[in-house]
Amino acid sequence: MELTELTVRSFADLLASNAPAPGGGSTAALEGALGAALSAMVSALTVGRKKYEEHWAFNEDVNQKSEALKETFLVAINKDTDAFNAFTAAMALPKETPEEKAARSAAMQEALISCTESPYHMMELCVNALELVDSQIGKTNTNAMSDLGVAALSLGAAIRGAWLNVLINVGGIKNAALAEHYRTDGKALLERGTAVSGSIYARIEAALEEF
């Protein structure tokens, strides 16, 4: 089943159920998709308006990039749940003989790495999307300023949510160098993304308080 083919209501209902997946990882991916979609919308609402003519080419470019990011996030909604389900399947493998134990352990490691790589990759996407949103400030339709703010907030929630999903999985990875990469580089992405998201929100809130 493709989660992105569920209705919004069915997705929320399935999320709320005691089915272990989808969970926070797919939710973070969906919030990334919503943030990228709002970024694309704000540029789409700017192109063609006479007042912003000098920024049309810029916004056409941003719109394409945000649309592409939205697509990648939508794919990640399904991928993250697939990775989680692969881990559950590996856990259920037989573990009677030494050979079975070794095969189960290897399958679990492989699945754990996917469960960590999936949110780590989302964090990279979030930083890219947040930098696009940052570049839109001052060059887009001011009637959509709150939408640009919600884009930054969605991506800010997505990157932190993805980070929690890196953390809950990385502890089980036996390859120490790989685990260290996810922890160190993930932390750097988190810091960059949250700084950009917070800065965008603060500027937009301040502007709207005068609106």
- Give the nearer residue to a copy of itself in terms of CB position, either 92 or 102: 92
Cis peptide before 22 (omega within 30 of 0): yes
The answer to whether residues 25 and 38 touch, using CB atoms and an 8 Å cutoff, is no
Of 75 and 102, CB closest to a copy of itself: 75
Cα–Cα distance measured from residue 199 to residue 153, given in angstroms and rounded to the nearest whole number: 10
Taking CB under 8 A as the criterion, which residues in 53-112 touch a copy of itself? Answer: 66-67, 70, 74, 77
Per CB under 8 A, the list member of 82, 117, 134, 147 interacting with a copy of itself is 147
- At how many degrees (to 10) do helices 24-44 and 145-170 cross? 160
Closest separation between CB of residue 94 and a copy of itself, Å?
A: 22
As a whole number of angstroms, the distance between CA 37 and CA 76 comes to: 15
* Position among 57, 89, 195, 208 found at the interface with a copy of itself (CB under 8 A): 208
Of 1, 44, 132, 186, the residue at the interface with a copy of itself (CB under 8 A) is 44
φ/ψ (deg, to 5) at 188: -65, -40
Contact 70, 31 (CB under 8 A): no
* Sole binder of a copy of itself in the list 65, 111, 130, 161 (CB under 8 A): 161
- Sites for a copy of itself among residues 167-186 (CB under 8 A): 167-168, 171
Nearer to a copy of itself, 100 or 191 (CB): 191
Taking the C-alpha atoms of residue 52 and residue 140, their distance in angstroms, rounded to an integer, is 7
Local structure of residue 138 (DSSP, 8 states): T
Nearest to 189 by CA among 127, 137, 143, 139: 127
| Residues at the interface with a copy of itself (CB under 8 A) | 3-9, 11-13, 15-18, 20, 23-25, 27-28, 30-31, 33-34, 36-38, 40-41, 44-45, 47, 66-67, 70, 74, 77, 144-147, 149-151, 153-154, 156-157, 160-161, 163-165, 167-168, 171, 201, 204-205, 208-209, 211
